Structure 1
Amino acid sequence: MSKYAINQKTIGEAVANGGVLVVAQWEAKDGQADRVADILDQFLPEAQRDPGSQLFLIGRNKENPAQFLFYELFRDEAALKAHAESDYFKTYIAGQALPLLAKRERAQYVLL
């Protein structure tokens, strides 16, 4: 899997203005983890270029490579909505990755 933390901003710059933080956990179905990783390799650069995305990180569990963890910080609710309605999200996530998952959990937070 390629680098998942590619970004031009520092963490401090990304969080300076607050925003909506989404933390998600995925678990791929048996035999699908590498395919999910390949899809995420294509998806991540698009997500990081999204103008409403302040920070977008994806990690893969070292002990269980079928598990993925997302930290996504968006400028505001409108930016989060635009992300979910984007062509790249519909193509890679809704169209390709979600059918390969056994589990998907998401929670939203506001930075303090």
Structure 2
Amino acid sequence: MIVFTATLQAKSGKEKELEDALVHMVSEVQNEEGALIYILHRVKDTPGKFTFYEKYKDQEAWEYHDSTPHMKALLEKLESLLADEIKLNHFEEIASISR
């Protein structure tokens, strides 16, 4: 299992454009068989800050996601939208509930 978060901060004035691009990405990823969870969050107390929570069934599924045309297109678009580099945190799941 591959689990991580990706946090992105929009440049001032680019918040809506970034949000639209990230929401669109969710619709693209829903068709990836190995993507188990792909949730976009907006940080409530920081305008233009977003975090994805992502879970993939294995390394191969994550590598597939990372190589898709929609991921490549998003990364190109992000160059003009982000105030900072994407912050990634990788996790090892040790306990959970699911309903």
State whether TM-score is above 0.5.
Answer: yes
**Displacement after TM superposition at 1:87 (Å):** 0.8
Cα distance in 2, alignment partners of residues 20 and 111 from structure 1: 9
Cα distance in 1, alignment partners of residues 33 and 78 from structure 2: 23
* Equivalent residue in structure 1 for 2:75, among 72, 90, 94: 94
**Displacement after TM superposition at 1:110 (Å):** 2.4
Cα distance in 2, alignment partners of residues 77 and 38 from structure 1: 28
User: Which consecutive residues of structure 2, in runs of 5 or more, have no partner in the other structure?
Assistant: 95-99
Q: TM-score, normalised by structure 2?
A: 0.86
Cα distance in 2, alignment partners of residues 40 and 24 from structure 1: 11
Whether the aligned pair in 1 keeps the contact of 2:23 and 2:40 (CA below 8 Å) is no
SS at match of 1:84: helix
Find the counterpart in structure 1 of residue 13 from structure 2: 31
SS at match of 2:29: helix
Root-mean-square deviation over aligned CA pairs: 1.2
Whether the aligned pair in 1 keeps the contact of 2:9 and 2:49 (CA below 8 Å) is yes
Query: Alignment identity in percent?
Result: 25
Cα distance in 2, alignment partners of residues 46 and 21 from structure 1: 19
* Equivalent residue in structure 2 for 1:72, among 54, 73, 76: 54
**Displacement after TM superposition at 1:48 (Å):** 2.2
Aligned residues: 93
- Is residue 2:33 matched to residue 1:51? yes
**Displacement after TM superposition at 1:58 (Å):** 0.5
Cα distance in 2, alignment partners of residues 105 and 54 from structure 1: 21
